[in-house]
Structure formats: structure tokens, C-alpha cells
Amino acid sequence: MNAPLPLDIAEAAALLRAGRLVAFPTETVYGLGANAKNADAVLSIYETKGRPRFNPLIVHCADLAMAESLAEFSPLARQLAEAFWPGPLSLVLKLRPGHGLADVATAGLDTVALRVPDHPLALALLRETGLPLAAPSANPSGRLSPTSAEQVQRGFAGKVPVLDGGACKSGVESTIIAIDEENLIQLRAGALAREEIERVTGLKVQKAATGAAISAPGMMLSHYAPNAHMRLDAVPEAGDAWLAFGPSAPFAGISRNLSASGDLREAARNLFAMLHELDGTGAKSIAVAPIPETGLGEAINDRLRRAAAPRE
């Protein structure tokens, strides 16, 4: 692996303005960033990740004002942005005329997923560049998302410069919500629980139908996959690595516990890091304990089901 290129904010911003890629931290996972208005730069994201071109990207903004220059905000969209930005909420909205985003960033759709990340380095980078940054997770397409700079460096063999912001505090990607008039549709479960959105808006959040057209990141059936085969809601067997949750019986093999106390927020924070660790042992299979489907458990189970799905 090549030695990582240490970056500060000014150096990272200069690379992005020049059309280069830079991986940077957010509160959810590390993103692989490019100038969202530069088609060649955005194409290099797809090429570097090996990402299908029909899979759109989330565009990160420095603030609500930047986001409003790109998309049309209804009163409901603005309510959500003001309540949860900066934070792990991506809103899928109609593009504004004259938005200037590269068509490849939106996969040719007339909508775009926008968010304002809640990480000081990400916000500083966005302000320094003055640009919206297209940034999917900084990993080879379909593989485990990175929650540390070291995981980014390992995933891309040190070929992508990384702005190191330490470990991500949420550990799973943002929740993606599409707004259709007064209807809220969750396209991807994430680090913001549906119940929180419902509490703020007083509206029921619907879930996108299984097999719905891909209109946002994270909707492909196979995603977030380790090299090892995964068995969900399982009891570990000889030869397995074991991903436990809550109080569990001792296991003689390799194991990690997402949260021994059964804390779903801690489990979400540990999910990708522990899957990286277990996968790195060379285990052929990973058995995963049952996870409650409530609160952040919805996002955790979503990632686990996609990680265990047949590879596309």
C-alpha cells in the first residue's frame, strides 16, 4: 500500500478545486469527494469506486443557502433541513433551474439528494472550496463503508488522498428522505431514526417499496458487503466469526460485540468497523446475532441484509 498523503484543509480544497478526488470524514462514514459541478471529477468517483453509473450520488453542502441554490425547497423540506442539518439526513428534492450540477452526479434524474454533514472538517472543507461536493462512501463499490482514514487507505491501496478526521461518530450512512408534496418516503434507513422525523413533522414516514426504482444511493439490493459470507439472525458455528449484540454466551472463535449492553446507537457506531475487523481475519463466514428492528436497528438491519444479499 502506498504511503497516505497527509492533508490539511487548504491542500484538500486545492485538490478538489483542481478536479481531483479527496476522501474526507463526516459524522456518518468517510466520503469520496469531488466537485459536483465538474463532470470529469464526478466520473472519476465512479471509476475509482467501480460504481454503476445509474446509482446517483449525495451532494454535500456547506449550509442551507448552498443547498437552496441547487434544489427547490418546499416548506416541509425547509422544516426538515432546519431541524436536522447539519446532520445525517439527506433530502431528495427537485433540481432548481440553473443548478450547475454535473448530470452524472444525479444519474440523469431531475432530483438530487442533498445534505449538510455534521463534522467540523467536512464543513471547513466545504466552506474552503465554496463548492458542493458529490461524495458517496469512500470504499470500492458494494464493499463495507469506511469509518476511519485507515480503512479508506486500505480500500484504495493508498491511492486516494484522505483528510483524516478520526473515527466517525455515527458509523452508518445518512437517512435518505424523498418529499412528495406532504408525503415523506424513506428511501434508505440511516443514522437518523424515522421516529425522530415523525416526531418533528407530525407526519408518518413511509418506506420505499422493495424493488423501487433507484432514485438515491444505498438502494441496490446487494451493498456494504464483506468478503466473507454472512448469516443473519444466526447462532455461531465452528469456523464462523461471530458478530454479537447484547449479553451473549462465550464463543471460542473470533468475535466482536456491537454493544454488550444492547445500545443501538453504540451498535450503529461499531457496525462497519467491526465487520472490517472480522472480515480482515480471513474468516469464510460471519454469523450475526439478531438485532431489534426498532429505532436505529432499522438502519443496522438494512445494512446487514444488503451485506448478506447475493452479490450483483
pTM metric for this prediction: 0.82
Strand ranges of the sheet holding 205-207, from the earlier edge strand across to the other edge:
22-24, 31-35, 133-134, 58-60, 111-115, 89-94, 175-180, 183-188, 205-207
Give yes or no: residues 280 and 194 share one domain.
Answer: no
Q: Highest-confidence range of 46-55, 190-199, 259-268, by mean pLDDT? A: 190-199
Give yes or no: residues 200 and 237 share one domain.
Answer: no
**Has residue 166 been placed in a domain?**
yes
Backbone dihedral angles phi then psi of residue 165, each to the nearest 5 degrees: -120, 20
Give yes or no: residues 184 and 233 share one domain.
Answer: no
Count the neighbouring beta carbons within 10 Å of the beta carbon of residue 135. Answer: 27
- Tell whether the model's pLDDT for residue 216 goes beyond 70: no
Of 207, 238, 255, the one marking the end of a domain is 207
Q: Which residue has the cell 472490517?
A: 276
Contact 246, 261 (CB under 8 A): yes
Could you report the per-residue pLDDT of 139-188, keeping only the tens digit for each?
Answer: 998 889 999 999 999 999 999 999 999 999 999 999 999 998 889 999 99
Of 69 and 6, more confident: 69
- Tell whether the model's pLDDT for residue 4 goes beyond 50: no
Our count of domains for the chain comes to: 2
130 DSSP assignment: T
The number of CA neighbours under 13 Å toward the Cβ of 73 is 18
Which H helix or E strand runs over 256?
Answer: strand 255-257
Q: Which domain holds residue 143?
A: 9-207
- Residue 185 sits in a domain of what CATH number? 3.90.870.10
Of 209 and 136, more confident: 136
**Has residue 95 been placed in a domain?**
yes
Of 177, 207, 237, the one marking the end of a domain is 207
Which H helix or E strand runs over 255?
Answer: strand 255-257
Of 207, 239, 270, the one marking the end of a domain is 207
Give yes or no: residues 201 and 248 share one domain.
Answer: no
- Residue 247 sits in a domain of what CATH number? 3.40.50.11030
Give yes or no: residues 172 and 134 share one domain.
Answer: yes
Contact 307, 275 (CB under 8 A): yes
**Has residue 215 been placed in a domain?**
no
**What pLDDT, on the 0 to 100 scale, is given for residue 6?**
60
Give yes or no: residues 19 and 142 share one domain.
Answer: yes
Give yes or no: residues 91 and 234 share one domain.
Answer: no
**Has residue 187 been placed in a domain?**
yes
Contact 7, 116 (CB under 8 A): no
209 DSSP assignment: P
Give yes or no: residues 158 and 291 share one domain.
Answer: no
**Has residue 224 been placed in a domain?**
no
Could you report the per-residue pLDDT of 22-65, keeping only the tens digit for each?
Answer: 999 999 999 999 999 999 999 899 899 987 666 789 999 999 99
Give yes or no: residues 140 and 254 share one domain.
Answer: no
Give yes or no: residues 194 and 278 share one domain.
Answer: no
Give yes or no: residues 164 and 260 share one domain.
Answer: no
Percentage of the chain with pLDDT > 90? 71
Could you report the per-residue pLDDT of 54-109, keeping only the tens digit for each?
Answer: 678 999 999 999 999 999 999 999 999 999 999 999 999 999 999 999 988 888 88
Residues 282-290: what's their mean pLDDT? Answer: 95
Give yes or no: residues 233 and 203 share one domain.
Answer: no
**Has residue 244 been placed in a domain?**
yes
What does each C-alpha distance from 294 to 60, 132, 137, 195, 251 come to in angstroms?
28, 33, 25, 9, 26
**What pLDDT, on the 0 to 100 scale, is given for residue 20?**
97
145 DSSP assignment: P
**Has residue 37 been placed in a domain?**
yes
Q: How many helices (H) and strands (E) does the chain have?
A: 9, 13
